[in-house]
Amino acid sequence: MKRVIVWLRHHRAAAYVPLCAVALSLTTVSARGAEKPPIRIGVLASESGTAASAGHDMVTAWKLYWAEHGDTVDGRKIQFTFYDTGSDPARALTVARQAVEQDHVQMIVGPYLANEGLAVAPYAIEHKVPFLEPTVSADDLTQRKANKYVIRVAGWTSSQATHPAGAWAYDKGYRTVVTIADAYAFGYENVGGFNQTFTDKGGKVLKQIWTPLGNTDYSPYLSQIEAAKPDVVFVEMVGSDAVNFLKQWHAFGLKGKIPLIANETTTDQSNTRTLPPDVVEGIISFGHFAEGRSAPATQEFDTNFAGKTGKLPSYMAAAFFTAAQWIGDALLKVHANVEDTDAFLAAVRSVRLADSPFGPLQLDAYNNPIENVYVRRIEMVTGPLAAYGKTWNVVLKTYPNVSQFWNIPPQQYLKQPVYSTTFQGLKTP
């Protein structure tokens, strides 16, 4: 019994610590007098699990913006809390609940993966919390499931950058394609976008290959590709899949033999920074970000990010940096009065960035940015940034102001289903 009492005493003492902390913080708040409470932003990032490295890039870039520009808007401090989604949609939902119900955040920024975003969106909508997505690219979130609370600040849809790719490939003289991509929604949507515009012009899809995520051996697929003798190959890969694919594409001697067009993630800096230059140099890809773009906004971001982390930024980093800028601008427009959700949402929708690391950005009527799509080529890094990376994506050609619907009227576009294994936007002859 004695021991219990002793333990309880200790325990009680421990219980006073948070109490004291609360009391202290209360006094500091009242000491500040009329100052408004901080703006609470919940940042969902995948800091553990399969997408952990992307999560780190996102968090670093997000902090970088506020460190550069100050975390106070119109006299009101911005307080952001980071939540780890563990790269798992069910967990993303749990931390979204924590953010909204426990920490009462006034907006959610993130998460990273499409399936996480799709899981959290209905929850955010139900609780009327602005859900701002810099990287979640699942087409439907700003198409068939568009909602006023869901806005892709500095974001993109999966097929947005591959629509131009299909048209470009046809105009380049290619008539037949084999596609190879990860067997999940992001892959289906990337390839679907390419196929739709490619076949629309008269191109032909010889073969479509879907490979499981986390695949390490691409040799059987590569021999299938070689046997099909296509004019061009279109590839979508993420993470380690991209690294493995590019290595084997080079090792099998296909690089330089069959023309290759990659989607944005395949040659993203996060993948190519680990690969030797001869494996990746010269590869053409399509994306809404190009770290080698010569415009000052991109170069300045590159320099600051590299100075902070010692490496060149991925598109995820650029997205969270630009999202911070976007949200900062919107907050300024409403004089930091984030409590009026409708006014804040309207402000977010009205933001126009004349130039950002991505280039000019503004939203369409469905809350997805109208943005540049770059035809990119991997080249050796030149200039002062060469100290931070070997190769990067430079801009060959710019498609300005590309919409998620490409050149198809939205109503007409939305009549077709979202891209999947069964719908690839193929024009049947």
Partner 1 sequence: MSRPWRNAIVIGILLVLAIAVPRLGLPAFYVSLLTQTWIYGILAMSLDLLVGFTGLVSFMQAAFFGIGAYVVAIGATRYHFVDFWPTLLAAILIAGLVAAAFGALALRSEDEGFIIITLALNEIIWGLAYQWVSMSGGDNGITGFLRVNVGPFHTTDNSGFYYLSLAALIVCLTLLVLMVRSPFGLVLVGARERPRRMAALGYNVWLFRYLALIIAGMFAAVAGVLFAYYNEFVGPGSLSLDTTVQVLIMVILGGTGTLIGPLLGAGILVFLSNALSDITQRWVLILGAVYVVTVMYAPDGIVGLVNRLMAKARSRRELSLAAGAAVGGAFHSGEGPK
DSSP output for 319-382: HHHHHHHHHHHHHHHTTT-TTSHHHHHHHHHH--BSS-TTSSEEE-TTS-EEEEEEEEEEEE--
Residue of 44, 108, 138, 378 that binds partner 1 (CB under 8 A): 138
Q: Does 102 bind partner 1 (CB under 8 A)?
A: yes
Q: Does 130 bind partner 1 (CB under 8 A)?
A: no
Q: Is there a contact between 284 and 260 (Cβ–Cβ < 8 Å)?
A: yes
Q: Does 121 bind partner 1 (CB under 8 A)?
A: yes
Residue of 6, 26, 183, 251 that binds partner 1 (CB under 8 A): 183
Contacting range for partner 1; rule: CB under 8 A; set: 34-42, 80-88, 230-238, 254-262: 80-88
* Shortest Å, Cβ 122 to partner 1: 5
* Shortest Å, Cβ 104 to partner 1: 10
Q: Does 20 bind partner 1 (CB under 8 A)?
A: no
DSSP output for 93-143: HHHHHIIIIIS--SEEE--SSHHHHHHHHHHHHHTT--EE-SS---GGGGT
* Shortest Å, Cβ 2 to partner 1: 8
CA distance 141 to 304: 32
Q: Does 355 bind partner 1 (CB under 8 A)?
A: no
Specify which residues 78 forms β-bridges with. Answer: 39
14: three-class secondary structure by DSSP: helix
Residue of 38, 79, 123, 206 that binds partner 1 (CB under 8 A): 123
Q: Does 232 bind partner 1 (CB under 8 A)?
A: no
Contacting range for partner 1; rule: CB under 8 A; set: 90-98, 240-248, 349-357, 407-415: 90-98
CB environment 172-210: b (16+ within 10 A), e (fewer): eebeebbbbbbeebbbbbbbbbbbbbbbbeebebebbbb
CA distance 156 to 133: 9
- Written as six digits, the tokens of 298 are 């991109």
- Written as six digits, the tokens of 330 are 């919107």
64: number of CA atoms within 13 Å, CB side?
Answer: 24
Residue of 114, 222, 243, 295 that binds partner 1 (CB under 8 A): 114
Residue of 6, 24, 90, 332 that binds partner 1 (CB under 8 A): 90
Q: In the window 29-48, what residues touch partner 1 (CB under 8 A)?
A: 47-48
Q: Does 185 bind partner 1 (CB under 8 A)?
A: yes
How many residues sit in the footprint of partner 1 (CB under 8 A)?
37
Q: Residues interacting with partner 1, by CB under 8 A?
A: 1-4, 47-48, 83-84, 86, 88-90, 93-95, 97-98, 101-102, 114-115, 118-119, 121-123, 138, 145, 183-186, 188, 213, 420-422
